[in-house]
Structure 1
């Protein structure tokens, strides 16, 4: 009888979720065990689970997005009524966990990998962003909301790679302005302060749409980007390269060279390409091109002064040393990972 009652309750949740509103969504989260401590374990179609976690799940991973901490695994419980992504405009949304539903709206859309969407209300994390029919609109993390278009791409795409054309942008005075330029992007034609006017002949209205179109582009294809520089307009045809940094990874532009940093600028991962430079996991970066750095954003900003080589000053056990990085490095990657604490 208990099994029958449970099955009927799930059927009710699936068929009448819209009528039941967010109370039904809370029950569905509870019955599906969608939230476990600080991780999300969301039942999705085809007997799979979408995992959001800072640690690799103890299961066979079918796919992994290293930028957004997303995993796809095969589900063993075969939850009968999985969460589906809403492909239509939602009339209302709420941040929902097993005990509460906080209704609100997205104030700012997700702009690429580094700037997650912002919600109008204070929320508990982690949680699911749902409409009243319990369809996924996104996931709520301590850094903001990862929107459904990124979840949909992760679930449907054969690859978890993202595209990159060597720029980072933001919305300034209702215009999409280039904030940082990748000095390692070959023949990068862009400059800090350029205003992006159009992409492939279509007008650009906001950074969220532009970054999504770039990130979701196929690697090695080409994009036509029109910019305004001062009073003049330029159109550049640029190649889409593979993205190496952003999201839960550092995004200093040195990632494509194999170096990743912690928030306090210690090296956490390094490729064997840099054996010849004498760098080690745990080395702390303190200057870039003669300028002091204290955040990963500082690194990317001062790397824009890159000309022939980037001059990096590191600290190791009280000893300071310079490393000059130049040219293209293409070798097999071997990674080391450590925890780096400020001292």
Structure 2
């Protein structure tokens, strides 16, 4: 047994570059795990820099200085984000408030349907179970509880320090990441061992994949969100903007997100129309959007960036989401691809095995 372990260790860890790669991955992983909260603005800036690198690079090829290109791209991006926020956020806020206001009546209607079902089929739902359900729902809808929860949320989200960090620091970081990309990459190499050929190989393999993934994911969110909103608005579904945004954001969590967002859409449509033709048409159209996303949009956008089995993707979402929360969910696929790239690139000392077999 000891000989087997010794041979396995010599086969997998006899290359110094493999040891270097292992320590780099462990170091970065520990830094992200213990400092994710502090590094959040930096991570946001890195994601945006990856997203905006392509137009900056294209402008640089046209002879525009990288400083000017980074400035132009960042100003245009911030302007578009401002227009989007001013146009979209008020509508989503109004619909969110309306949904919270209508929630008690929707629950009452749902409980009425359940009571009718219980009266016809008491073997499935008893009156005591209904009373217990109503008691729990009333606790959840307690006014003071909602007020206290709202105060807590506002207390965290309205923090002046947090707003200053994200509104001022993140754009500055993005600008310098874009402007001084080559300088920063060159300077960061001083903190890594010189014997990093294997790590460089893995990085070059992942660099383009990460860029393709971030760009593709943003495009997918926009396409799915806009298409869903237009369809919901045409159908006359209430809270169409809010549900459209939720549908777009649901693609951040592969497979699971679509399942989670389907429930509120189904409930809102049911409480609005009941089991009617409109309800059927809405769910059919929503199903078509999800099918087109999974079978057309995703293959077109991620054919080069994602080559993973669905089970691996779901496992990656669970593992990395548990470790790093929202960031882990967003980067679950690139991180899973990184693990795959490391495994594929990891040296396998076949020469050592051959010599051992010859000696025997």
Same fold? TM cut 0.5: no
Q: TM-score, normalised by structure 2?
A: 0.21
Higher helix share: 2
Q: TM-score, normalised by structure 1?
A: 0.22
Higher strand share: 1
Greater Cα radius of gyration, structure 1 or 2:
2
Name the structure, 1 or 2, with higher relative contact order (CA <8 Å, separation 6+).
2
